[in-house]
Structure 1
């Protein structure tokens, strides 16, 4: 009898356990345009959840059959019947349809955070990176698809990138990672190296850059927002392709729900031989030049980065407190000089950096006052080796030997530099009411660098690199935002102040002397921006900015290798005007943006065969427009396209333009494209009862031919010209295994078009890549 009672009791406990066993319901809530909705509500009886920054949610319920309701302000509620019996996890996604309700002539429309930013007075374009996560596409390629942007890169993977936005380019454009200037984070965070899998979205500011970023941008900025989730997850990806290119990445996160602790690790690795074919001139056996096609032979690039992060969220004393530590290592073989006229066969450089940071966000109980403080430190170590006497030709053979010097330096070099960067920023915001708010931002940074080169010291009799160079900079801003005319017009007025002091030096190798160079300065800036939404589908924006950009440490002090120092540089200034009109329907959008830039004291990289130096050379004017649009005729097909025309002309007098003839006044600046366009077609279709998905895409970029030198020089038939280019990419992607595994095949430059960028440096031809991506949901 006792045995029967015990068995019955155990069976009762087991049945209660089975009945009470929880099922985890996960999913994502998006709009019709696949934009994540942040803060959407999911409800099952007395159980509820809210979506995170990427529109994801997680809900634990007992086993059974339920009705799951999803709602968000301004969108129609959606319900789904779910069967949660005998399952551990259930995936349920929602696509909500926008809805407006008229109440006594008042229209209530809900907007996501991204939509609010798009409609703000700033001229900002939002690139959603999710559709690129499964493509073998670099972040540079993603940005290059946006209207008004032109990215030119030296060679293949790891080559320096030059980003242009509406006529301004290079260091005139500031780059940020999660609102932090990338200058402080080290070379490994460049957008040309950052994997697309790390990115949630990219904010492209054309003209006014908001003060909370704390930057001295001259008229544009790019803010890369990395992926953030409030749930356990891990994602790994790997791609391999032409030129022995390998790319791998890892994103992992653990959430300790009761404590509010979030632990994360991000890592990626890039490698390429960059041995693509180029057209060059090589001497034959009789030393006569002959034009041949060879593979680049000394251009290996490899780089890795790992970042760990710990965060506490939703505490009384902090909405967010995060601490991060990152380390990056890089090796780069140098193939040729700046204008691809001289090959190198042994020179190389390395770059290692370690940075730590802490960030604290807090808001008071009534959500009127907000603070955001950030502190960081970065240590950078670089090495450069140039010791060979060999002289190489483009086919990788030793042609002869020099009697002294290296491939790049006069003395030969084993240079090592140490740089320490410390920085801090505080943002304060006070909301007076629903129509007005005040913002304050201040950023302080300090950069110090010194070096040593025993090889050069033996040659010159002293070490020209042991002297310390430093730069201290502050950027502060105050802005007032006000909404009026029934909140149809939003105005942002901002004031900025810039201060810097620098200390560098000038080497006189012949006399063996070093001269200290010091300077400092105070500068101001002002901006005014409006957004007008008189009609729900029509958006109008206009902005003006008087902007200042301070020379950075790279321009002031050079890199001791290819770039000479110039500590006498002065800041660039610019008057910027933008005007945008955009009409948006549920299935199509069309917009046009016009821009005007009047830039003075342009810091220009003046190059020679062996060396280059930044100089204040020109005054210029840029005027142009960009036309962009998208169309989604069916849910499975999306069409995107844009074109940009920019006319950038010299407005300098003969005295300050460093030219020898007044004929260059009002001439188009050389080596800058003035017309380019992009197109992209995406097609996706569910298969196998919608559990799997197949995607195809075709994209292309056209750049019209332009002159390498001044267009007013020389005869038309003999002018050095960078030819017109239409580079096309195609790919196919298969998403399967409950949308956790993706396999991608892609061909870049599928037609093997000859492509050129900076100073006529040839880019890779046809290349093939495959990529695998897997997401672990059951963590």
Structure 2
């Protein structure tokens, strides 16, 4: 009780100090200064405002890159402090790493709404750049309006929001039979407040690029290295959102109803590693999602209210019924004793996930220097399915997937933003996290099936401070006590190899960030940031026996990092950029005597040094008026890192472990990687039409990603884009 009173007193004191400073500022500042400040803010773009706030955010504006054939994951990978890890080509699962955190510790949003309700339909691995206005990448503290239990950061995909009619279409054709198309349009009915629109995209790739694998020599029966083509990795998806509504009415600034449909069909070439290929395993996913969005400002524009609702039913199917296995040459090997490839018992699972999400946001400007806001996100999940080949409870014989399971999550936040004497700005946030699960818990060999439920709640706190040194430079510092709730998939398991665990605890972390930024528009930009992380109760997947896995609270991780990003306009038509990231993330507090030797070892499968560079040139009015010719070069480097934790004394020596090799088996090391990309595009009519060509992995280097999955070699891409507005 005394502890609660102490925390309450500290929070009250912080709020009182902020209010006191802000009131003094109002009394002392002249009306002229307030008007001047408003004029300056209005002159900045939304991207500039977000990137210069107290909470650290990297902003990728798509306007200057939408003509390129680059994917969203490639663009994000060019940002310091971030790596996107995939397990194959187009459409493969993506795992984003931000300043020491990855996986489910990083959250994703679409226009400020958590993306869970769209399943895999709007993932960063398939969303085209042309559909977006900008990408906001938060490292550490999240603003109040992004309601999620993120420990390490978030990515907010902001779609285009035009006030005018427009039509934008693009088509890309590339190596490996890759085709990508987008279609985006908005039409406002003349002399009314009504509008209608459509956002859609299509992706397909055979992903049949060459990879280096080991196969058994038929004569010697020894393993040998060979180069083969991926032969079962086709990916196809369709996504469409039709929407309509009204704007600028008496009762709503925006009332928007949307209907989203997506369909995904993916062949699975292998599992978590490339050790064993599959030849017939297929996964499918589809969903129909109605949405509603309401926005209104009132009380003389001081108050801002928005409400988002979505109800979705996502159907996921897994087909693994081949009485066979395959080798890397694509040869089928019949085996009547097997029911499937990935699972010897086979799988024909059909699972329905029902999801409801409500997001309520409210903000109120107390005065020109202060704003208070609140955000509440409530989400429910219900899962039920069936699998005639799937696991069953031993005594009842029930299919595990037919047992209903439920999951509720609530994340709330209240924030106060203050500005003091034009130099100092502050954001203070209180957060609340709650989750509840219910279902049937049992060991697969247990005679009992127990109806269980579990719930937990946590509080969080965050503070971000920015101090302007000059008109063009500032320092900012932020800290938070963050929580990540267990996801429904971690609690429920998958009904195959992953067992349920209704006793999972939330992950928790202390995060600190310090940064400096200086910039002169159209001249240069320099930004340096450091971070510290200390996380406990990290949820990891661990084996419970020779067959089954389970998510458990296991790891503790601490570390620090440094990242730098710089760009300079060498000429009006020539821009050079460079960035690097170093992060030292290590396990600590290991109690298991069998692995105590791994104390202070680096986190597995995690790059600790990487960077990149870019060079762009653009010339206007080259052949005719209002045309533009652009050429570009991108470079990415990833230093050697380790597939599994290794003792610290076996790590690479030298300065920060950069440039040398570790004293370990080469199979445990992912080697240095160098990726070069070049491109050329030509635009007409003030960028309304464009044609481009791009070569990725110019030197056909061997590149690897998540758990040493080999990426594509050299590829050629052609892209055309047409826009009317």
TM-score, normalization: structure 2?
A: 0.89
Q: Does the aligned pair in 1 maintain the 2:102–2:152 contact within 8 Å?
A: no
Structure 1 residue 233: Cα displacement: 1.2
Structure 1 residue 211: Cα displacement: 1.7
Structure with greater Cα Rg: 1
Out of 753, 758, 773, the position equivalent to 2:706 is 758
Measured in 2, the distance between the counterparts of 1:359 and 1:329 equals 23
Structure 1 residue 454: Cα displacement: 2.2
Measured in 2, the distance between the counterparts of 1:448 and 1:458 equals 20
Question: Counterpart of 1:776?
Answer: 724
Out of 211, 236, 249, the position equivalent to 1:315 is 249
Structure 1 residue 606: Cα displacement: 4.3
2:145 counterpart SS class: helix
2:389 counterpart SS class: helix
1:178 and 2:111 matched: yes
Structure 1 residue 689: Cα displacement: 3.6
1:673 and 2:607 matched: yes
Measured in 2, the distance between the counterparts of 1:754 and 1:504 equals 46
Deviations 1:664-720 (A, max 9, x none): 211211211000001111111121243321111100110000111222187815252
Question: Counterpart of 1:467?
Answer: 403
1:604 and 2:551 matched: no
Q: Does the aligned pair in 2 maintain the 1:423–1:443 contact within 8 Å?
A: yes
Question: Counterpart of 1:633?
Answer: 570
Question: Counterpart of 2:102?
Answer: 169
Measured in 2, the distance between the counterparts of 1:106 and 1:776 equals 36
Measured in 2, the distance between the counterparts of 1:458 and 1:166 equals 41
Q: Does the aligned pair in 2 maintain the 1:435–1:487 contact within 8 Å?
A: no
Question: Counterpart of 1:34?
Answer: none
1:408 counterpart SS class: coil
1:210 and 2:146 matched: no
Unaligned residue ranges in structure 2 (runs of 5+): 1-31, 651-661
Measured in 2, the distance between the counterparts of 1:692 and 1:374 equals 41
Q: Does the aligned pair in 2 maintain the 1:642–1:679 contact within 8 Å?
A: yes
1:716 and 2:716 matched: no
1:661 counterpart SS class: helix
Question: Counterpart of 1:192?
Answer: 125
1:614 and 2:551 matched: yes
Structure 1 residue 513: Cα displacement: 5.6
C-alpha spacing 1:104/1:411, structure 2 compared with 1 (3 Å) = closer
2:719 counterpart SS class: strand
Alignment map for 1:18-57 (pairs within 5 Å): none
Deviations 1:704-742 (A, max 9, x none): 001112221878152521000011111111112563221
Alignment map for 1:148-163 (pairs within 5 Å): 148-163=81-96
Q: Does the aligned pair in 2 maintain the 1:341–1:609 contact within 8 Å?
A: no
Deviations 1:163-212 (A, max 9, x none): 01111111101110100111122211111110000011111111111121
1:465 counterpart SS class: helix
C-alpha spacing 1:533/1:340, structure 2 compared with 1 (3 Å) = same
Question: Counterpart of 1:571?
Answer: 506
Question: Counterpart of 1:494?
Answer: 429
Structure 1 residue 381: Cα displacement: 0.4
Deviations 1:443-467 (A, max 9, x none): 1111001111123379974322101
Structure 1 residue 609: Cα displacement: 10
Question: Counterpart of 1:92?
Answer: none
Structure 1 residue 554: Cα displacement: 2.1
Question: Counterpart of 2:226?
Answer: 292
Q: Between Structure 1 and Structure 2, how many residues are aligned?
A: 672
C-alpha spacing 1:514/1:680, structure 2 compared with 1 (3 Å) = farther
Bigger shift: residues 363-372 or 707-716: 707-716
Structure 1 residue 543: Cα displacement: 0.5
Measured in 1, the distance between the counterparts of 2:505 and 2:634 equals 41
Q: Does the aligned pair in 2 maintain the 1:391–1:402 contact within 8 Å?
A: no
C-alpha spacing 1:451/1:717, structure 2 compared with 1 (3 Å) = closer
1:703 and 2:650 matched: no
Q: Does the aligned pair in 1 maintain the 2:88–2:711 contact within 8 Å?
A: yes
C-alpha spacing 1:282/1:637, structure 2 compared with 1 (3 Å) = same
Measured in 1, the distance between the counterparts of 2:244 and 2:79 equals 34
Structure 1 residue 150: Cα displacement: 0.9
Question: Counterpart of 1:233?
Answer: 166
Structure 1 residue 592: Cα displacement: 0.3
Deviations 1:128-176 (A, max 9, x none): 1112211111111111111111111001111111101111111101110
1:211 counterpart SS class: coil
Q: Does the aligned pair in 1 maintain the 2:598–2:646 contact within 8 Å?
A: no
Deviations 1:103-152 (A, max 9, x none): 99988634333222222110111111112211111111111111111111
C-alpha spacing 1:103/1:211, structure 2 compared with 1 (3 Å) = closer
Question: Counterpart of 2:4?
Answer: none
Deviations 1:220-258 (A, max 9, x none): 111111111111111111111111111111001111242
Measured in 1, the distance between the counterparts of 2:706 and 2:458 equals 32
Calculate the aligned-residue CA RMSD, in Å.
2.2
